[in-house]
Amino acid sequence: MFKTADGESIFVIDAHIHLWDARPENQRNIHGAQFINCFHDYQKALSPEEYIWPADKFQNYGPETLYEDLFVQGYADMAICQPTYLTDFYKDGFNTTEQNAQLKEMYPDRIVLNGAFDPRDGEAGLEYLEALVDTHGIIGVKLYTAEWRGDSKGYKLSDPWAQRYLEKAQALGIKNIHVHKGPTILPLNRDAFDVADIDDAATSFPALNFIVDHVGLPRLDDFCWIAVQEPNVYGGLAVASAFVSARPRYFAEIMAELLFWVGEDRLLFGSDYGIWQPKWIIEKFMAFELPEDLRAETGVDLTPAVKKKILGENAAKLYGIDIEAQSAKLQAN
């Protein structure tokens, strides 16, 4: 929980974290090394120097380190663990629901466990999705449309099989569909992360919430033009939030556009841990102010009340978290 200078407590939900295993012994091929090295390059490019990890720690930091960085040092009260399977690159997967479920078992009051699906898995994948709900009670999934499967280097949410999976998800009570639509990661294809298919999916499934992680960067304009007309489209700020330190003017421009088009009620904080740590992002975010010229041009502002929504209240609404009750529960433990 973050405490403001005047003593106000802000409940923080980090809506985009991972617990991955990218050790060399788990890498299936050169692509596993390429992927984690690209992630590490992002950390080195945008993190303050004191938060940059050595490669071996970055490859596999473990649940105890995660807990310390998020919930002891990092102000987070809860976090949503988002899986990324990448089984073509990693023998046991990079970050599967089953691996993340162990984290949920260790810290049940802190972790929201999300699942995943891939429409290229056909009927077997539909059965797996149902099993995830039966076993773990998930109400959210994370989709990685650029993930490789054999000869396929991605899919679109407008594909017929993807539509079947979204129908199945809705029938199972899964309501939050997180989709990676952000910067590419070597060796994945940039175009497979294009945001255009969000438009079709959001229109076709108005009862589902589509959280576009990384707000479409580097396609921010495309994302904003879609989100402004689709009330069930949200922006996940992971990656975008990391620019608050290294590129503050760029971060200000991103936030001004998002607040103007999408609004303060549909933006969710995410650190993208373990690429970046929430401690420094939240501290700099809470101290950040939009420049006067952007406030004047857009008519929006990043006020304390807006920051409070972004840091936790908006995610709490999507996941049915009673902040007052959860705060009391965490303090009691």
CATH of the domain at 256: 3.20.20.140
pLDDT of residue 164: 98
* Residue type present at position 18: H
Statement: residue 4 has pLDDT above 90 = no
Q: How confident is the model at residue 6 (pLDDT cuts 50, 70, 90)?
A: confident
Give percent of the chain with pLDDT exceeding 70: 100
Statement: residue 269 has pLDDT above 90 = yes
Look at residue 47 and tell me if it is in a domain.
no
Statement: residue 112 has pLDDT above 80 = yes
Cα 186 from Cα 31, distance rounded (Å) = 8
Look at residue 245 and tell me if it is in a domain.
yes
Q: How confident is the model at residue 3 (pLDDT cuts 50, 70, 90)?
A: confident
User: Contact, 271 vs 230, CB < 8 A?
Assistant: no
Average pLDDT, the chain: 97
Look at residue 59 and tell me if it is in a domain.
no
pLDDT of residue 333: 76
Look at residue 246 and tell me if it is in a domain.
yes
Query: What mean pLDDT is predicted for residues 169-192?
Result: 95
Question: Would you state the structure tokens that stand for residue 194, as one six-digit string?
Answer: 């294009």
Q: Which candidate, 208, 213, 331, 311, places its Cα nearest to that of 264?
A: 311
Look at residue 264 and tell me if it is in a domain.
yes
pLDDT of residue 7: 83
Cα 53 from Cα 220, distance rounded (Å) = 29
The tally of domains found in the chain comes to 1
* Structural domain of 238: 2-14+114-332
Structure confidence by residue, pLDDT tens digits, 16-62: 999 999 999 999 999 999 999 999 999 999 999 999 999 999 999 99
Total length of the chain: 333
Rounded to 10 degrees, the C-alpha dihedral 272/278/283/288 comes to: 10
Structure confidence by residue, pLDDT tens digits, 78-104: 999 999 999 999 999 999 999 999 999
Look at residue 304 and tell me if it is in a domain.
yes
Q: H or E segment at 210? A: strand 209-213
Query: What mean pLDDT is predicted for residues 231-238?
Result: 98
Look at residue 161 and tell me if it is in a domain.
yes
Look at residue 44 and tell me if it is in a domain.
no
